[in-house]
Amino acid sequence: MAKVMIVGAGGVGQVVVHKCAQVPEVFSDILLASRTLSKCERIAARIDRPIETAQVDADSVAEMAALIQRFSPDLVINVALPYQDLPIMDACLATGVDYLDTANYEPPDEAKFEYSWQRAYQERFREKGIMALLGSGFDPGATNVYTSYIRKHHLNEIEELDIIDCNAGDHGQPFATNFNPEINIREVTAEGRYWEDGDWRTTGPLAVSRDFDFPEGIGPRRVYLMYHEELESLVQHLPEIRRARFWMTFSDNYLKHLEVLQNVGMTRIEPVLYEGHEVIPLKFLKALLPDPASLGPLTKGRTCIGCVAHGRKNGKERVVYVYNICDHEACYREVRSQAISYTTGVPAMIGAKMMLTGQWRGEGVFNMEQFDPDPFMEDLNRYGLPWQIRDLYAPLP
């Protein structure tokens, strides 16, 4: 029985609240806090057990710490934006409370994400005797656990790893992003980066692509190489990996709109002076685009996210593929969110459960692959994200 404080009442926050509420034997008390109180109240009204709500500016360490002291949770789940990671970690340090998030810190004025800022908390979290679990969404999150599960049970060593994220759903809108538009567009327009032979290699944004035949009737789709944060921790914790890459599908329509928006400067994050006001084009664009939460009732189709690992088992070459398929409409029926928020929110709840039940424990700052994958994999099957495993004939070229 534990008290949990969830910060962020967006698409992912809504799923985390629903899923924690479904497991009262672990999450006995829930507080949902966010910048806009009415959004917390709207989510709370849809849950069939009482939860508390509060307004908080998570950029303010003092406000966060005061709210933590008032509610005294056992764990803070941060599903606000990556910009809030550090102030929320500071508030957890000040109050001696465990921390979990789904995306690594990103400074608002620079489209760059890496673990160094959060790893800098390692000693202070250890000295305080508290734990931070970083990246407990799907990718990062379940993909890290898939990789350590393959390594534990199916390959003695992983030589090549490809994480492949496919959204084969359709929301019928001319252009929309399926999670926070600002974070999504910063990620997609960044240079591609992958690990090979002990070093990072850089490519132009979405400049490298392959065709991949997705299972269970989804079929062949073009996937584009991008940088993604789990590559950084996975090659650190599994140093045998010779090459690690991350791929994502995009529709031609999405790419066409993105190219135009980039060409006209709408994806820039430097302020522009407009009629005496400073405007950040990407933030203004976010205000124009559909709220990802509004896509829930519109989105049809499925997602397929998984890991292809190439290596050896008992000296024999093997290519193992572990994946989950998630149906947008089924997610909406269960928690009133589409599959992108669902596939992030369920692993956030499971990561929290691992910490609160003591199955995953430690003092300091951790990534998902540092713990035993088995109980997490069992819970993915149990709480709505069942996975499959199969052998492939060949790795991704």
Ligand X SMILES: NC(=O)c1ccc[n+]([C@@H]2O[C@H](COP(=O)([O-])OP(=O)(O)OC[C@H]3O[C@@H](n4cnc5c(N)ncnc54)[C@H](OP(=O)(O)O)[C@@H]3O)[C@@H](O)[C@H]2O)c1
For the CB of residue 366, give the shortest distance to ligand X in the complex, in Å: 15
CA atoms within 13 A on the CB side of 197: 1
Which of 18, 19, 35, 310 is in the footprint of ligand X by CB under 6 A? 35
Q: For residues 85 and 78, what is the distance between their CA atoms, to the nearest angstrom?
A: 7
**In Å, how far are 78, 88, 222, 280 from 109, measured between CA atoms?**
21, 19, 32, 10
For the CB of residue 25, give the shortest distance to ligand X in the complex, in Å: 26
Q: Candidates 73-81, 205-213, 247-255, 318-326 — which segment interacts with ligand X by CB under 6 A?
A: 73-81
Q: Candidates 7-15, 20-28, 118-126, 153-161 — which segment interacts with ligand X by CB under 6 A?
A: 7-15
345 class by beta-carbon count within 10 Å (0-12 exposed, 13-18 middle, 19+ buried): buried
Identify which of residues 18 and 310 has a Cβ nearer to ligand X in the complex.
18
Q: Is 196 in the site for ligand X (CB under 6 A)?
A: no
Q: For residues 332 and 345, what is the distance between their CA atoms, to the nearest angstrom?
A: 13
300 with 161: CB under 8 angstroms? Answer: no
Q: Candidates 43-51, 81-89, 245-253, 378-386 — which segment interacts with ligand X by CB under 6 A?
A: 81-89
What lies within 8 Å, CB to CB, of 36 at 6+ separation is 9, 55
Mark 275-314 with x for binding to ligand X (rule: CB under 6 A) and - for no binding: -----------------x----------------------
Identify which of residues 163 and 238 has a Cβ nearer to ligand X in the complex.
163
Which candidate, 297, 323, 299, places its Cα nearest to that of 309?
Answer: 323
Element (H, E) at 233: helix 230-237
Q: Is 56 in the site for ligand X (CB under 6 A)?
A: yes
Q: Is 10 in the site for ligand X (CB under 6 A)?
A: yes
Which of 4, 5, 6, 8 is in the footprint of ligand X by CB under 6 A? 8
Q: For residues 295 and 275, what is the distance between their CA atoms, to the nearest angstrom?
A: 33
177 with 350: CB under 8 angstroms? Answer: no
Q: Is 98 in the site for ligand X (CB under 6 A)?
A: no
Could you identify the residue written with the tokens 């049809």?
300
In sequence order, what are the beta bridge partners of 283?
none
Mark 122-141 with x for binding to ligand X (rule: CB under 6 A) and - for no binding: ---------------xxxxx
Q: Is 59 in the site for ligand X (CB under 6 A)?
A: yes
Q: Is 351 in the site for ligand X (CB under 6 A)?
A: no
Identify which of residues 32 and 308 has a Cβ nearer to ligand X in the complex.
32
Which of 65, 344, 350, 376 is in the footprint of ligand X by CB under 6 A? 344
Note the residues at the interface with ligand X (CB under 6 A). Answer: 8-13, 34-36, 39, 56-59, 79-82, 84, 102-103, 137-141, 179-180, 183, 292, 344
